[in-house]
Amino acid sequence: MYPPPGVEDPISAIFDLSDRVAAMAPTMRRMYRYTATVVVLFLLIMVILLFVGLADNLVFALMALIALVFGGIALSLLRETDRFYASYLGRHRAIKLIQDADPAPKIPAGRTPVERLARYLGQSSARIKSFLDARPEALRYRVTLPAKGGDQPFDLVILSPGSSLYRWFGWGDPGFAAVARLAPETLTPMDVARFASDLQSIARRLPARLVRAILLRPQPGPVSEAVYDLAVGHPVEVPGGPVAIEIVTEQPNGTYDLVPHVLGVP
């Protein structure tokens, strides 16, 4: 007995449907912008009519006020719809990254562990790669970053500054920052907690949002349960949203062990 057409592989069919919905993202974004612009213009007109009505006709002003209330509700619902679709696209992107990811990422060639990590970050993130292709000087080694109470050293920094609007008011393009530090041979919970504290102290002074924070272990070895729990279950709260502490270990077989496995960020 043969299955009906279209259900030979239901999992693939679900992914295909998700791909088709995600492909509509540019159209949905344009629809949201156009509709939001119309609603905002409507609200501005109602505000003007409200003041005109208050000066001349209270009934007219009351109608304008009611229209303002309904317009505000419509705008809030429109924003919630946009947030839902953005969340859906984020989940779809994460699923695609997991589908396409190498379960055992290869260590690229390089003279030092930090140099190899920098090349891996460029290979694993399209945004980092395109940014470094355009501005290779943005990749820096052995850098001290300003922090409360004194500068903090990092072995690797990739910094794409956000827009002026973001730096002054927190709006607009936040840019991104990725930092890494060589971890001690035996990594302890205290080392992870100290690294988290350093991240919090530098994050507010960075001209971009901190999105990657890596402890690099050139020598393989077991990671204790307490260290694993801190890395996986306790992201660091920084401006712009929590960031996970990634523990990246070079394995003798030429692959990375990633805890947790962060994909496609930024």
Give the CA angle between residues 218, 221, 223 to the nearest 5°: 110
Between CA 211 and CA 266 the distance in angstroms is 6
User: Does residue 247 sit in helix, strand or coil?
Assistant: strand
Handedness of CA 165, 169, 174, 176 (dihedral sign): positive
Look up the pTM and report it.
0.70
The DSSP secondary-structure symbol of 7 reads: -
Residue 18 pLDDT exceeds 80 = no
Amino acid at 5: P
Residue 1's pLDDT is what?
46
Between CA 35 and CA 76 the distance in angstroms is 12
Least trusted range by pLDDT, from 113-117, 134-138, 231-235 = 231-235
Taking only the tens place, the pLDDT of each residue in 222-243 is 889 999 998 888 999 998 889 9
Contact indicator for 146, 202 with CB cutoff of 8 Å: yes
End-to-end Cα spacing for the chain: 48
Taking only the tens place, the pLDDT of each residue in 138-183 is 999 999 999 887 899 999 999 999 988 777 877 778 999 999 999 9
**C-alpha torsion 233→239→245→246, nearest 10:** 120
Residue 3's pLDDT is what?
52
CATH architecture of 113-259: 3-Layer(aba) Sandwich (3.40)
Give the CA angle between residues 157, 225, 231 to the nearest 5°: 25
Look up residue 166 and give its two tokens.
């973001």
Residue 118 pLDDT exceeds 90 = yes
The mean pLDDT value for 189-197 works out to 96
